[in-house]
């Protein structure tokens, strides 16, 4: 029996997924959560094999939650179920350890296939998601941006409103180094200022 936790901030989605999977003989819905903090709290005391995880959730989003899960509960698998088909979201999900990524317009048949593939130890990405990654690699436009871990950390901190001095202190790096990273990020995203950088990053899914 595959024990599944449903994580989405919309009750209608949680109830819909629960109803959709209710007649699957090898699946048991063991719980639901409306944000990442609830997911982590649930995992402290309950056995779970797989989490169907939304990305945009309050308090702690799906990407941050998945990252914490892979560190604290490495045996728990995560399948991202999202409305976003942007390269940034997909890459972030893969990098933090998600085993699959499918869109919310997916039908029951493909959802069950994704669950089975992941529980067999494989990964699963819907056709639209795969096409997005391949297309952006091929055309090499702004959505094909590749960021280092340090750049991602600085981008996240900038989006949280931290100044260069504060980021310098948090990352134990000189202000000159942080400024260099900031300028490089502006160039990569073709942004005129930090405000535009954050706007583009959010639109393309590099930050939530």
CB burial of 127-164 (b: ≥16 within 10 Å; e: otherwise) equals: eebeebbeebeeeeeebebebeeebbebbbbbbeebeb
Question: Cα-flanking dihedrals φ and ψ of residue 89, to 5°?
Answer: -60, -45
145-203: CATH, from 3.30.1600.10, 1.20.1050.10, 3.30.450.20, 1.10.10.10: 1.10.10.10
pLDDT, position 36: 96
Domain 2-138 and domain 145-203, same fold? Reply is: no
pLDDT category, 144, cuts 50, 70, 90?
low
| Three-class DSSP category at 92 | helix
Q: Is the pLDDT of residue 198 over 60?
A: yes
Superfamily of domain 2-138: Response regulator (3.40.50.2300)
Tens of pLDDT, residue by residue over 83-104, are 988 888 898 899 899 999 999 9
Q: Where are the domains of the chain?
A: 2-138, 145-203
pLDDT at 140: 44
The mean pLDDT of 8-28, rounded to a whole number, is 95
Q: Which of 13, 127, 20 is nearest to 62 (CA)?
A: 13
Q: What is the pLDDT of residue 71?
A: 95
What pLDDT score does 138 carry? Answer: 47
How far, in Å, CA of 201 to CA of 208, rounded? Answer: 8
């Amino acid at each position: 029996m595959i024990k599944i936790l449903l994580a989405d901030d919309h009750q209608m989605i949680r109830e819909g997924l629960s109803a959709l999977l209710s007649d699957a003989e090898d699946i048991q819905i063991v719980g639901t959560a409306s944000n990442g903090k609830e997911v982590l709290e649930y995992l402290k005391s309950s056995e779970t094999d797989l989490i169907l995880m939304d990305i945009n959730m309050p308090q702690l989003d799906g990407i941050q939650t998945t990252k914490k899960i892979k560190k604290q509960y490495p045996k728990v698998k995560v399948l991202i179920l999202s409305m976003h088909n942007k390269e940034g979201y997909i890459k972030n999900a893969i990098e933090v350890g998600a085993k699959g990524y499918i869109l919310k317009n997916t039908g029951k048949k493909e959802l069950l296939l994704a669950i089975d593939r992941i529980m067999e130890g494989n990964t699963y990405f819907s056709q639209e998601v795969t096409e997005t990654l391949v297309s952006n690699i091929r055309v090499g436009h702004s959505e094909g941006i590749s960021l280092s871990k340090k750049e991602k950390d600085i981008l996240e901190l900038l989006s949280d409103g931290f100044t260069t001095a504060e980021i310098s202190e948090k990352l134990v790096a000189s202000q000159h180094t942080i400024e260099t990273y900031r300028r490089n990020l502006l160039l990569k995203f073709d942004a005129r200022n930090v405000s535009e950088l954050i706007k583009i990053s959010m639109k393309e899914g590099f930050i939530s």
